[in-house]
Amino acid sequence: MVSEVVVNRVVVRVPAKINLSLAVGARAADGYHPLATVFEAVSLFDEVHAEEFDGDGIDVLVAGAGAESVPTGEDNLAVRAARLLAERYDIELAGLALTLRKAIPTAGGMAGGSADAAGTLLACSVLWDIDIDADEMRDLAAELGSDVPFALLGGTAIGTGRGTELVPVLSRGRRHWVLVFDNDGLSTADVYRRYDELRPKGSELAVPDELMNALTAGSVVDLAPALRNDLAEAAIDLRPDLEDLLARGVEAGALAGMISGSGPTCAFLCRDESTAIDVSGRLARDGAGDRVRRVVGPAHGARLLG
């Protein structure tokens, strides 16, 4: 006897990212900047719960870190993801309840909104039993935002174009990071705008050879000096206090500190787990308190939990 399993609730876990290298070219005519970046997914995850209910419309409930600053209306990226998927696959959208359990900071430079959009694409494709392959899902993800395809993929990957053209990178070993969140987010668009003012010609679009070699060799000591973020200058210009935090992380024992993406989250690369424990403790005592997290990279991409 074949029994049919009726899925009416799906849970997906999806990671935050940092950029090990982020080279930004000059603003293109469409308003976006061409990138050459190396993404790394880290073990900080949002969960997307998708459930059908009798009724209509999309209900969004946001729980967890910074929940109050996440919009719950049509401009929520998860809602846009669900609507896009429904439209492309002719799904008659009845009642959909989305619960976003957030651990990734909002407007933190770690692609939290993009993670929720990626998680929603995967969750709803299962919930609605859509026959969609990885390429089609990636194309929809790219329509939603620059970081959404990587949130699906995870691991470590080179991103070009707007960041949506991805090639996985084979890297050896695990990297231990200490993250320091900020209570006030930075708008990605604002940081890019400031970047245009500071560097109207952009910079050379390349991934440093030293960085790729360090990843292949699995050497965090060699990786540290190769980390690069072209948006750091603009983020620090908008938030000068970040510079002091970066210096304090290195004083506390990290190999290097960098702004994550467009900031304001700061990411500190540590030699090993025990150093990361030490650095996180020091930064927490030094004023960062409960805004400090220890994570490892690379982490998996969007994954079905049940």
Residue with tokens 């969750």: 123
Q: Which of 7, 94, 189, 206 binds ligand C5P (CB under 6 A)?
A: 189
What residues contact residue 151 under an 8 Å CB cut-off, 6+ apart? 14, 15, 17, 41, 111, 114, 115, 117, 118, 119, 141, 301, 302
For ligand C5P, give the closer residue by CB, 164 or 171.
164
- Within positions 124 to 183, which residues make up the interface with ligand C5P, using CB under 6 A? 145-147, 162-163
Residue 113 assigned to a binding site: yes
| Marked catalytic residue, from 46, 102, 116, 147 | 147
Q: Report which of 272, 36, 68 is spatially closest to residue 159, judged by C-alpha positions.
A: 36
From residue 158, alpha-carbon distances to 39, 100, 144, 170, 206 in Å are: 6, 28, 19, 10, 10
- Within positions 30 to 69, which residues make up the interface with ligand C5P, using CB under 6 A? 32-33, 35
Catalytic annotation present for 102: no
| Marked catalytic residue, from 17, 102, 116, 182 | 17
| 229 belongs to the binding site for ligand C5P (CB under 6 A) | no
* Rounded-to-integer distance, Cα 51 and Cα 87, Å: 18
For ligand C5P, give the closer residue by CB, 106 or 275.
106
For ligand C5P, give the closer residue by CB, 159 or 249.
159
* Rounded-to-integer distance, Cα 184 and Cα 109, Å: 12
- What three-state secondary structure class fits 189? helix
300: DSSP letter: B
Catalytic annotation present for 147: yes
Nearest distance from residue 150's CB to ligand C5P, in Å?
A: 11
Would you list which residues are annotated within the binding site for ATP? 105-115
The contact set with ligand C5P (CB under 6 A) reads 32-33, 35, 145-147, 162-163, 188-189, 192
Binding-site annotation, residues: 105-115
